[in-house]
Structure formats: C-alpha cells, structure tokens
Amino acid sequence: MKDNTLAKIFAVSAAGVIAASAALAQTTTTVTTDTGTVTTGLTTRTGSFVTYTPGDEYFTFRTTPAAEPVRYYYTKETTFVDPTGRTVELSEIRPDLPATVYYASEGNRMIVRKVVLSKPAPVIEKKETTTTTTTTP
C-alpha cells in the first residue's frame, strides 16, 4: 500500500513539473511595424486657416469659403510643414493660407497630428533703403 501511494505522489509530481515547464517555455512575440508616415488612420481636411493666435492651443480652419470655421487643437507633437517638407514655425501661419490638416477625433475635439501647407508660407522681408541728398552751394 505504501508503494502504491508513493507511486501516485511521484506521478502527480512529475505531471506538475512537466506542465510547469511547458508553461514557462511558451514565448510571446510582438511585432511592431513602422509605417513611416504620421497620417495613417487620420481624417484629412483641405481648406484654409481662418485664425491663429500665438499661445492658443487651437486654430480655426474652414474647408470652403462658405463653411463655418472649426476649431482644430494642436499639441507639441503636431508637425507643420510646407509642400517641400520644410518645417514651418507657427508664427508663419496667416489667415487664408491654404493647407491640408490631418487629425484624429478625441471626444468632441479634433486633435491635429500634421498640417501641410499648400504653398510656402509667406516670407516677410524687411528691406531698408537709404536716400542720400546732397546740396550744392
């Protein structure tokens, strides 16, 4: 009887060890792919800026001249670029500047991920001219 009980204990222990080793031997593989673009899975709107105020967390944008302006919120991760891919400073944004906005809806807000201007931002150049006047006696 002792031999039978000892054999049962040994068999149960061996089965437990095999089950535990099988559970520990399982591996999990996670594959992450980089699509290389910021715009995958985002909604796109083409139109023009209506207002942008430095320091605000949003700008207003409309898709047609007759459409009501809509607020689009941007973050520190939002990229603003011109058609050539050059990064554009927010201070270069002007009303009526055409652009394409890529955004994701989060609740009732449109969170902008990327803005591509349709034409280069206007460059304001400061020119100084000097006029010299000479008088002869």
Greater pLDDT, 53 or 10? 53
Cα→Cα distances 3→6, 8, 77, Å = 5, 9, 71
pTM: 0.59
Fold of 43-117: OB fold (Dihydrolipoamide Acetyltransferase, E2P) (2.40.50)
Sequence ranges of the domains in the chain: 43-117
Tens-place pLDDT, residues 27-86: 434 443 333 455 568 899 999 999 988 889 999 999 999 999 999 999 999 999 998 889
